[in-house]
Structure 1
Amino acid sequence: MTTARSQLICPEATPYYHCVSRCVRRSFLCGYDEQTQTSYEHRRAWVERRLMQIADAFCVDVCAYAIMSNHYHLVLHINQEKAQKLSDEAVIQRWITFHRTPVLIHRFLKQELASESEKVSCQKLIQTWRTRLCSISWFMRLLNQYIATEANLEDGCTGHFWEGRFKSQALLDEQALAAALAYVDLNPVRAGIADTPESSAYTSVKARLQPDQKHHTFKRVLYPFTGHPRNDRPAGLPFRLMDYLELLDWTSRQIRENKPGHIPPAFPTILTRLGFESQFWLETCQNIEKGTLVGSKTAIRTALPYLNRRRRTGLTLSPS
């Protein structure tokens, strides 16, 4: 049975979510199809460009992404505080970037609303848009509908392109967030199509590290790493970028199939701070997609009332 999205996504439980969309047809989203000798590699740029356009307008931050041959991964952050601070005019401009402008809104922008009922109706519409601007469901809808339309047009066919609804996982604590970020950024390494994280095309880690103008635009949109939580910390991911890159580099060396299974005694300090044993961290990074809730037992138990759920199911990251 399909789980209601309200039981999967709730900003009061956590603002962080790991989302995955997969193609329903055998034909590729991106990459090269050996059977038909057709390259779909250019579609990776479609997804990346559209992703950044939506993130630039929405109050949903992109923390990590990886665009693979028949699916893509995102780690998203719901930024309700940002949405509430937007002026009515800013909400309108962001929303009509992707939608037609109603006549009522045209009149509002020209200050031509005559009656009180028109003003009330206009405010209701703007409030609806403000809510949608921090909705992961609307974010994913705009991304998937666009890619499906473009791919179907190119393939000369109709019908479903995506495998039903996108999958989402609530990331309930720092452990879950770090594991999901690493899992997404290391997807090409795990799939054997990249040797190192920084050489993984169409991933957030490469976008963060590349100095060229195209990736500079992406870096501006990506949710920043701002370091350990503290009172004066600006909004961003609660890790230092250098610590995270060290963690990615270390992890990528362990999960490669051609590498021995021995775990070296020295591992990144970020794992110590997060309370991970090295072997448990590696197991987590390779199994993060299990369940819809990811976090410690305590974090999962705390989140259940917000999601209107009773059973404690998901991927438990620690015994606490």
Structure 2
Amino acid sequence: MGEVAVMKHHVTVGVDGSPESRAAARWAAREAVLRHVPLRLVHAVDWPLDPVFPGLGRQDVDRWADRALTEAAEELRQRHPQLEITTRCLAARPAAALAAEAADAGLLVLGSRGLGGLVGFLVGSVAVSALVATDTPVVMVRVADDAEGPRSASGSEVVVGVDIHESCDRVLAFAFEEAAGRGCALRAVHGWKMPLAYTYVPFFDPDDEKDIGRSVTRMVDDMLLPWRHKFPDVEVRHSVFMGSAGDHLVRASQGAGLVVVGRHSRRSPLGTHLGSVAHAVLHHAAAPVAVVAHA
């Protein structure tokens, strides 16, 4: 019997010629180099429902798409001569095409306009639809995240949000692997709230808050312990706060190289939702954001 070929997980990035997608492509290329995997550039032409420019014919749109992919690929090959780069141009709705392309990828990278200068993301419907339609980790990148240097690839810490009420194995695996690949520290952040019953207690004992805080901290320690053993070279710090996890993660994103958050996989009658923490971080973080579906 011959050897069975094993396909390496590649990094996929959506490209449409915009400054945001070019920033995402450059970030994705650096990530692919860190992972030692190929990079795939994908452009989806939604024809005839949503032509890129009004009045253009199908051939014009196809030529524009091909040029956007070719220019992006040529730029990245000059920056990373050893990186294997492929391109795909698909006739499909962008969100559906990106989600389908992410199925056999290790990571999907999408661009976003920044809000308020260097802070926050403008997350469009295509990005949100693609994000919730795939179980592959998705990273959102802004033009502001495109600076070359240690923050863009390695050196700055990876920040991860942990939830003691969820199975965070996939989220923590991704965060620890990123920190290990970048050779940087990892900071785990957890925000907790007092049980609802305490709202109705007329005389609140501050010692109860301290006891609960210590208990939550031990639970976070227990959650991180097996990953510390698996990645002994990764320096791990953790911050446990009473309050909004989203707010603390946004503050921790200042100066971080990457923020990692989980999202719920379960669906409601209105569709799949990101969850309040992921939503807050995506819209206000000052660093690229990776969203990983809980198991």
TM-score of the alignment, normalized to the shorter chain, above 0.5 = no
Structure ranking higher on relative contact order (CA contacts 8 Å, 6+ apart) = 1
Name whichever structure is richer in strand by fraction: 2
Q: TM-score, normalised by structure 2?
A: 0.24
Q: TM-score, normalised by structure 1?
A: 0.23
